[in-house]
Amino acid sequence: MRTRKLVIIAIFLLLFPSTSYSAAKLTKTPAVDNRARNIYALFTKANPRLEPVNAKKYAEIVIEASEKFKQDPYVIAAIIVHESTVNNKAVSKGGDYGLMQVRWKIHEKAIKQRFPKVKNAKDMFDARTNIMFGTEIFSDCMKKCDNDVQKGLMRYSAGNTKMRDKVMSTVKELRSKDNATKTKKKGK
C-alpha cells in the first residue's frame, strides 16, 4: 500500500511539477494550477484505476468548461466523481452516459446541435464533449435556480438529495485544501 502511494505521488509530481503545470487554453495562474492539482488528486483517489494522463486531461477540461460556463470547477469535478466515479464509459440504467452522466434521451437534439460530430449516445463517451455539455446543462440549472448551488444540483440530479449532499461535502473538502495551501504560502 505504501509503495502504491509513493508511485502515485511520483506520477503526480511528474505530471504536475510545482512550477510548470500547463493546461492548454487556460489562464496560467496559481489558483488555476492549485485547482487543477486538487481535481487531479480527487479523480485519482475516486478511481484508482484511472490512468494519470486521463485524470490530468479530465481536470484540464473541467477547468476549461468551468471558465467557459462560469461555474465552480470543484462543483463540476465533484459531480463527475459522484455521478460516474470518474468512469468515462459509465452508463446508468436510465440512459445517462459518460463522466457527467448526461441523459441522452432528453438532450439528444441539443447535443447534436452543439456538437455536430456526435451521432449517437456512445459518442457521449468522449470526455471533452461530455464535460462541456454536462457543464452547460449544470449552468442552465444554476440560472434557473438563481445561482443557488444546492438548488442547481437538485435540478441537475432530478431531485437526488444524496448526490447533492455528497457533491457539497466534496466541494467543502476541496475548498479546505485551497485554504490550507493559502495559509501555508502566507506563513513562508
The span from the CA of 81 to the CA of 48, in Å, is 12
Residue-averaged pLDDT of the chain: 85
Tens-place pLDDT, residues 36-86: 999 999 999 999 999 999 999 999 999 999 999 999 999 999 999 999 999
Please give the backbone phi and psi of residue 14, each rounded to the nearest 5 degrees, phi first. Answer: -70, -40
Tens-place pLDDT, residues 75-118: 999 999 999 999 999 999 989 999 999 998 888 898 888 888 88
Residue 181 pLDDT class (50, 70, 90 cuts): low
pLDDT at 177: 84
- The C-alpha angle 155, 158, 162, rounded to 5 degrees, equals 95
Please tell me the class of the 2-187 domain: mainly alpha
Q: Give the domain ranges of the chain.
A: 2-187
